[in-house]
A and B are shown apart, each in its own frame.
Chain A
Amino acid sequence: MSGGGYAAQNGAGGSYTNGPSQNPVGVYSSNQGLMAPPLTGFMNSLTTKGPPPPGPNPYITGRHQPSPVAPPPSSWSGVAPPPSSYSQHPQPGVTPPPVAPPPSSYSQHPQPGVMPPPVAPPPSSYSQHPQPGVTPPPVAPPPSSYSQHPQPGVMPPPVAPPPSSYSQHPQPGVTPPPVAPPPSSYSQHPQPGVMPPPVAPPPSSWSGITQAPVAPPPSSWSGVTPTPVAPPPRSWSGVTSTPVAPPPVGNHTGPGPYSTGTRLPPVFQNTMQPPAALQQGLYQAQPGQMIRPPAYHSPSAPALYTQVQPSGSAAQLSPSLAAMSLQSQTPEALRVVNLLQERNILPSGAVTPPTPCLPQDLQKINCCPEVFRCTLTSIPQTQALLNKAKLPLGLLLHPFKDLSQLPVVTSSNIVRCRSCRTYINPFVTFVDARRWKCNLCHRVNDVPEEFMYNPVSRSYGAPHKRPEVQNATIEFIAPSEYMLRPPQPAVYLFVLDVSHNAVETGYLDVVCQSLLENLDSLPGDSRTKIGFITFDSTIHFYNLQEGLSQPQMLIVSDIDDVFLPSPDSLLVNLSECKELVQDLLTGLPQMFSSTMETQSGLGPALQAGFKLLSPTGGRISVFQTQLPTVGIGALKPREEPGQKAHAKEVQHLNPATDFYKKLALDCSGHHVAVDLFLLSAQYCDLSSLGCISRYSAGSVYYYPSYHRQRSPAQTERFQRDLKRYLTRKIGFEAVMRIRCTKGLSIHTFHGNFFVRSTDLLSLANVNPDAGFAVQMSIEENLLDLQAVSFQAALLYTSSKGERRIRVHTLCLPVVNSLSDIFAGADVQAITALLASMAVDRSVTASLGDARDALINAAIDSLSSYRSSVLSVQQPGLLAPACLRLLPLYILALLKHRAFRTSASTRLDERVFSMFQLKSQPLPFLMLTVHPGLYRADDLSDEGALNVSERTIPQPRALQLSVEKLSRDAAFLMDCGTVLYLWIGRNCNPVFLTQVLGVESYAAVPLNMDQLPELDTAESSRIRALIDWLRERRPFHPVLHVIRDESPLKAEFLQYLIEDLSESALSYYEFLLHLQQQICK
């Protein structure tokens, strides 16, 4: 019993994880403490640990950023109070009643977290509490201290005086509380944290839910609650108020709770426990049902709450959990949709990811789906079940996404599981005040002394209130154990192609201009280094050493054995040598303006770059405009022009040489990432060149047919992308480890990186625009688990030279029925994962295979749904509502540039699309797969979005079919990297004049790339919409205004994927095909 109570205090973690079995552990320790004189275990832990850590100091969470967590940050800084109280503890502790102090501290914990509002100034309140509390429990000081422990969370067993209130409890608990239950610590914690008025909201985390069925008890409870319960809570509140104050002995003794006047001695709680257990269950159930009297609300309430919960009905409830969750979702997600009949299946707004069926309080802190998404938000219990569902299981990550709010914690000791090294996270379970159970490997770990102090609330003893346990996404400033070497400075090397072809395109001006403009905003600190290499058939280095009057060019013509002419002065400190760098950038475009050299020795130039950067690590940005022709790494054109790309015939998706891959691995080993900008009109063998970025965790940019004069829209896009590229955040020498609950394992990785070991990705650089995907498999059955967790921990060096760890944790429920799995399917994530898998398939097997696999994925999952979930067989192509978009998305993938079979797709473009499918974050990827089509000539402010004082119209997304286009309207299509504004022949003249500024349809220019800034409502609306669309992505989509005669019209029509095209089915035909296959 005591154990349970104890746990209650601590347990922030999910009780669900804890089986009943867990209790024992908790119990022991607590019992010892209570019953006998300070028992070894308990005492030791306290005393030995020695003086508590200087409370606040270690954790300086607040400081870096506005941590969401820290409402009371102010207190933070003002560390003083807590420490003092703290120090006191030890003192008393020394003497026989050593424990005493700590307990007090414990009690405090809950409070701080629990209720900010209720408690008055700590000190004052504190004193008050004691008074009331004191009276009842006369117990000797030392013991008292013990008892206190119990109060808060624990419950000292023995004490006799079961006051009237006591009896009441039993009543509610009517049911024989058989097992003391495991400390459903989980549920408890949440409550305090979650809701000031403890009961009302469904704080009931797991246990709460489960219990629900138990309904009857709750009611009884409610009756009970008002009177008896209230008191105890009070005690709590008393505790809470105390927060900082050095808990005088008196406190301990006094079971604060009783202050309310109820007679219940702290003991009471203990005694109760057995029943309590039952009650707890009830309790949780109650939350929803009953409204507590005000008295209850008082801080004390939470306390009670916690106690009860421990009883851990959780165990019993758990089984029913799945069912419950199912019920809640069934209506919408599993609604049967006959795709052949329902034509309008696009949602009116954005497609939203499903919400995992977790208790509300858990879900509230769960990782944001933009960062961490799973294809199945309900994880199947066994691999067999997963195979039956025929849906891919995998995660999509965007770990370094730019976040508006990110709690940052500075700590000398980052709490991690001792066996699996998982970072402590909101989904762990606190077994008791001093121990937590890892949610990944289930090992029970000690809570380090420092962790007992909560810097946010400046209280001691509530580890579950710490930011690490309250945020699923958190960043740590890593101490020196996380460094193999001192953090590297930001180092940037630019490798520029200056052959004739390159100069011809005019890209040098743009790059040099952008660099000049953004030189000051390159991420970095005073140590930032920069260097330049240019190459054609020779390699040119630039000596920028301080003291030179102008940059000095060093030419190495021996490209077979590249060496660095003056290793020390080629990479220079940016701030010290800024003038020379600026000189160079100004002069560079002219330097080669008359070059006649047509060869390109990219391989040797990359080797030189690698040699230059290998001692420090950093980023190489390569600009290449043609196929490398000389030196190592030279490639031959492999594309046969005009080749009819039949499904089985697309070749050369594989690299032609392993040179770039090997070099990339060398780079990766030395923390050098290579970003490739390919600006080329001809075939460049991106599948070979791309390896250099792919395995060194770089990014690839491709501007087909780039020419500065001939394609101004491309130039604008290049400029904008470059600006973003130069100024975006960057992390150096990074590694990312993806851990998952025991039983799950990672099967395949997708993205740009090198997989160093089974779960460790080596990322030489990490950038905020990179997405990753992993496929999972279930190796061991997850039979006795309620939920599983995934944790991605990204360790990187910031551009300021700080070593940081960003940790994301996602928790998902485990289910055992197919219908639950289908109900939790995330169609966008599934599509993205299937796309990545199909890319792999087309490289290892063939494009035809990949296309077949995509179609089969749709057939298999829908037929599995039909045969296993649907009880009533109806005619038609049936899909659950949550998967109704799957056939559409699959068809869109089949018509995507990466997988389509039309002859017009050039090999490089196809390969680039494949790279993008594997390395883009989900939202951007979905745009390229399934573009958005909006009617643009009747935008209104109805339902518009207001963002920072701008009104952004939100038109409804239309199906991508010609039938939706109308000659008297205009339509905007958003394809991710390009926007089309299609003007119908009979378009409203008002629109033409007010938005395009032209008189008639015929006057619309054939190549219009931007909208004039007219001072009309229509114009400002559509520009607001376009700007908004552009802002939300890290690249710059070009706008093309097109009409029937425009050359780009064919391209526009290709995006209308629901229509029949030269080599692919229309959507309806595709559905018929699926239906035929399914009913076979």
Chain B
Amino acid sequence: MEAAVFILSLVDCCALIFLSVYFIITLSDLECDYINARACCSKLNKWVIPEMIGQALATVLMLVSMHWFVFLLNLPVASWNVYRYVKVPLGNMGVYDPTEIHNRGQLKSHMKEAMIKLGFHLLCFFIYLYSMILALIND
């Protein structure tokens, strides 16, 4: 059981890592002017909800399996994702708005955010991996 939870988390975590990398690549494409703001934002906005779900899934899994430390680790990130989504002003076209992304250093802060998430997911990845192996051995 324990092992199954961590295997699932591991898979989820991998997906989130890929997503973070995808965000970083797309944002840096925009930075280098390889794609235009509109294309970039519509690409990224598509993945905002999947990311939210993936993160929520990991959080919930940890909650139900009662791994409090990892749960608390995941909680802030999950809430940040939800907060960000809810706070989008009515007139904006999503979390990533093509008319705003070049203003007020938004591009940079999005980039920073994606980097931090990538780091976080990598950390989680190793935690899950370790826990999974531990669980398998204990079994």
User: When the two chains form the complex, which single residue of B31, B89, B98, B104 contacts A665, counting CB atoms closer than 8 Å?
Assistant: B98
Does B90 sit at the interface, judged by CB under 8 A?
yes
Residue of B with least CB distance to A843: B89
Assess whether A747 is in contact with B105, with CB atoms less than 8 Å apart. Answer: yes
Q: B interface, by DSSP: helix, strand, loop or mixed?
A: loop
Residue of B with least CB distance to A753: B99
What are the residues of chain B within 8 A of A669 when measuring CB–CB?
Answer: 38
Residues in B21-75 with C-beta less than 8 Å from chain A: 30-31, 33, 36-38
Assess whether A757 is in contact with B30, with CB atoms less than 8 Å apart. Answer: yes
Residue of B with least CB distance to A652: B90
Q: Give CA–CA (A687, B91) in the complex, Å.
A: 9
Assess whether B90 is in contact with A665, with CB atoms less than 8 Å apart. Answer: no
What are the residues of chain B within 8 A of A758 when measuring CB–CB?
Answer: 31, 33, 102, 107
**Shortest Cβ distance from residue B130 to the other chain A in the assembled complex, whole angstroms:** 40
Assess whether B36 is in contact with A757, with CB atoms less than 8 Å apart. Answer: yes
Residue of A with least CB distance to B33: A757
Residue of A with least CB distance to B41: A665
**Shortest Cβ distance from residue B86 to the other chain A in the assembled complex, whole angstroms:** 15
What are the residues of chain B within 8 A of A662 when measuring CB–CB?
Answer: 93
Assess whether B91 is in contact with A661, with CB atoms less than 8 Å apart. Answer: yes
Assess whether B104 is in contact with A748, with CB atoms less than 8 Å apart. Answer: yes
**Shortest Cβ distance from residue A655 to the other chain B in the assembled complex, whole angstroms:** 3
Q: Give CA–CA (A379, B48) in the complex, Å.
A: 40
Assess whether A695 is in contact with B102, with CB atoms less than 8 Å apart. Answer: no
Q: Give CA–CA (A994, B128) in the complex, Å.
A: 92
Q: Give CA–CA (A746, B102) in the complex, Å.
A: 9
What are the residues of chain B within 8 A of A665 when measuring CB–CB?
Answer: 38, 98-99
Does A691 sit at the interface, judged by CB under 8 A?
yes
Query: A669-B38, A757-B37, A758-B33 are contacts. A654–B102 as well, Cβ < 8 Å?
Result: no
**Shortest Cβ distance from residue A674 to the other chain B in the assembled complex, whole angstroms:** 15
Does B138 sit at the interface, judged by CB under 8 A?
no
Does B79 sit at the interface, judged by CB under 8 A?
no
Residue of A with least CB distance to B99: A695
Does A1059 sit at the interface, judged by CB under 8 A?
no
What are the residues of chain B within 8 A of A657 when measuring CB–CB?
Answer: 90-91
Residue of A with least CB distance to B105: A747
Assess whether B91 is in contact with A749, with CB atoms less than 8 Å apart. Answer: no
Task: Map CB proximity to B onto A265-306 as digits: 1 under 8 Å, 0 otherwise.
Answer: 000000000000000000000000000000000000000000
Does B109 sit at the interface, judged by CB under 8 A?
no
User: When the two chains form the complex, which single residue of A655, A755, A760 contacts B91, counting CB atoms closer than 8 Å?
Assistant: A655
User: When the two chains form the complex, which single residue of B31, B36, B102 contacts A749, counting CB atoms closer than 8 Å?
Assistant: B102
What are the residues of chain B within 8 A of A1035 when measuring CB–CB?
Answer: none
Does A658 sit at the interface, judged by CB under 8 A?
yes
Residues in A665-703 with C-beta less than 8 Å from chain B: 665, 669, 687-688, 691, 695
Residues in A627-667 with C-beta less than 8 Å from chain B: 654-658, 661-662, 665
Of A661, A662, A687, most buried by chain B (CB within 10 Å of CB) is A661
Assess whether A656 is in contact with B90, with CB atoms less than 8 Å apart. Answer: yes
Residue of A with least CB distance to B92: A658
What are the residues of chain A within 8 A of B33 when measuring CB–CB?
Answer: 757-758, 760
**Shortest Cβ distance from residue B36 to the other chain A in the assembled complex, whole angstroms:** 5
**Shortest Cβ distance from residue A163 to the other chain B in the assembled complex, whole angstroms:** 58
Does A756 sit at the interface, judged by CB under 8 A?
yes
Assess whether B37 is in contact with A658, with CB atoms less than 8 Å apart. Answer: no
Assess whether A656 is in contact with B98, with CB atoms less than 8 Å apart. Answer: no
Q: Give CA–CA (A747, B92) in the complex, Å.
A: 20
What are the residues of chain A within 8 A of B101 when measuring CB–CB?
Answer: 755
Residue of A with least CB distance to B35: A757
Assess whether A658 is in contact with B102, with CB atoms less than 8 Å apart. Answer: no
Does A504 sit at the interface, judged by CB under 8 A?
no
**Shortest Cβ distance from residue A697 to the other chain B in the assembled complex, whole angstroms:** 12
Query: A755-B37, A756-B37, A757-B33 are contacts. A655–B102 as well, Cβ < 8 Å?
Result: no
Assess whether A749 is in contact with B103, with CB atoms less than 8 Å apart. Answer: yes
What are the residues of chain A within 8 A of B103 when measuring CB–CB?
Answer: 747-749, 755, 840
**Shortest Cβ distance from residue B101 to the other chain A in the assembled complex, whole angstroms:** 8
Q: Give CA–CA (A840, B103) in the complex, Å.
A: 10
What are the residues of chain B within 8 A of A691 when measuring CB–CB?
Answer: 91
Task: Map CB proximity to B onto A725-759 as digits: 1 under 8 Å, 0 otherwise.
Answer: 00000000000000000000011110000111110
Q: Give CA–CA (A691, B104) in the complex, Å.
A: 19
**Shortest Cβ distance from residue A528 to the other chain B in the assembled complex, whole angstroms:** 30
**Shortest Cβ distance from residue B65 to the other chain A in the assembled complex, whole angstroms:** 40
User: When the two chains form the complex, which single residue of A688, A754, A760, A777 contacts B98, counting CB atoms closer than 8 Å?
Assistant: A754
Assess whether B99 is in contact with A757, with CB atoms less than 8 Å apart. Answer: no
Assess whether B93 is in contact with A755, with CB atoms less than 8 Å apart. Answer: no
What are the residues of chain B within 8 A of A661 when measuring CB–CB?
Answer: 91-93, 99
Assess whether B30 is in contact with A840, with CB atoms less than 8 Å apart. Answer: no
Assess whether B105 is in contact with A656, with CB atoms less than 8 Å apart. Answer: no
What are the residues of chain B within 8 A of A655 when measuring CB–CB?
Answer: 89-91
Assess whether A654 is in contact with B99, with CB atoms less than 8 Å apart. Answer: no
Residues in A762-804 with C-beta less than 8 Å from chain B: 777
Q: Give CA–CA (A184, B138) in the complex, Å.
A: 78
User: When the two chains form the complex, which single residue of A656, A757, A777 contacts B102, counting CB atoms closer than 8 Å?
Assistant: A757
Assess whether A654 is in contact with B38, with CB atoms less than 8 Å apart. Answer: no
Query: A758-B31, A758-B33 are contacts. A654–B105 as well, Cβ < 8 Å?
Result: no
Q: Give CA–CA (A661, B102) in the complex, Å.
A: 16
Q: Give CA–CA (A746, B104) in the complex, Å.
A: 9
Q: Give CA–CA (A757, B92) in the complex, Å.
A: 18
What are the residues of chain A within 8 A of B105 when measuring CB–CB?
Answer: 747-748, 777
**Shortest Cβ distance from residue A121 to the other chain B in the assembled complex, whole angstroms:** 53
Query: A656-B90, A661-B99 are contacts. A756–B36 as well, Cβ < 8 Å?
Result: yes
What are the residues of chain A within 8 A of B93 when measuring CB–CB?
Answer: 658, 661-662
What are the residues of chain A within 8 A of B102 when measuring CB–CB?
Answer: 746, 748-749, 755, 757-758
Q: Give CA–CA (A844, B97) in the complex, Å.
A: 13
Residues in B92-139 with C-beta less than 8 Å from chain A: 92-93, 98-99, 101-105, 107
**Shortest Cβ distance from residue B118 to the other chain A in the assembled complex, whole angstroms:** 23
What are the residues of chain A within 8 A of B37 when measuring CB–CB?
Answer: 754-757
Q: Give CA–CA (A698, B91) in the complex, Å.
A: 18
Q: Give CA–CA (A662, B99) in the complex, Å.
A: 10
Q: Give CA–CA (A754, B102) in the complex, Å.
A: 10
**Shortest Cβ distance from residue B76 to the other chain A in the assembled complex, whole angstroms:** 23
What are the residues of chain A within 8 A of B90 when measuring CB–CB?
Answer: 654-658
Q: Give CA–CA (A746, B93) in the complex, Å.
A: 23
Residue of A with least CB distance to B98: A665
Residues in B2-18 with C-beta less than 8 Å from chain A: none
What are the residues of chain A within 8 A of B104 when measuring CB–CB?
Answer: 747-748, 840
Q: Give CA–CA (A777, B102) in the complex, Å.
A: 13
**Shortest Cβ distance from residue A777 to the other chain B in the assembled complex, whole angstroms:** 8
**Shortest Cβ distance from residue B98 to the other chain A in the assembled complex, whole angstroms:** 7
What are the residues of chain A within 8 A of B98 when measuring CB–CB?
Answer: 665, 754
What are the residues of chain B within 8 A of A749 when measuring CB–CB?
Answer: 102-103
Residue of B with least CB distance to A754: B99
**Shortest Cβ distance from residue B43 to the other chain A in the assembled complex, whole angstroms:** 15
Of B38, B99, B107, most buried by chain A (CB within 10 Å of CB) is B99
What are the residues of chain B within 8 A of A656 when measuring CB–CB?
Answer: 90-91
Task: Map CB proximity to B onto A444-474 as digits: 1 under 8 Å, 0 otherwise.
Answer: 0000000000000000000000000000000
Q: Give CA–CA (A756, B98) in the complex, Å.
A: 8
Q: Give CA–CA (A776, B111) in the complex, Å.
A: 19
Assess whether B99 is in contact with A755, with CB atoms less than 8 Å apart. Answer: yes
If A665-B38, A691-B91, A757-B36 are given as contacts, then 19 extra A-B residue pairs at C-beta distance below 8 Å, sorted by A number, are A654-B91, A656-B90, A658-B90, A658-B92, A661-B91, A661-B92, A661-B93, A665-B99, A688-B91, A695-B99, A748-B102, A749-B103, A754-B38, A754-B98, A755-B99, A755-B102, A758-B31, A758-B33, A758-B107
10 contacts between A and B (CB under 8 A): A656-B90, A656-B91, A658-B93, A661-B91, A688-B91, A756-B37, A757-B33, A758-B31, A758-B102, A840-B103
Binding site for B on A (CB under 8 A): 654-658, 661-662, 665, 669, 687-688, 691, 695, 746-749, 754-758, 760, 777, 840, 844
Q: What are the 6 closest A-B residue pairs judged by CB atoms, nearest first?
A: A655-B91, A755-B102, A757-B33, A748-B103, A654-B89, A756-B36
Binding site for A on B (CB under 8 A): 30-31, 33, 36-38, 89-93, 98-99, 101-105, 107
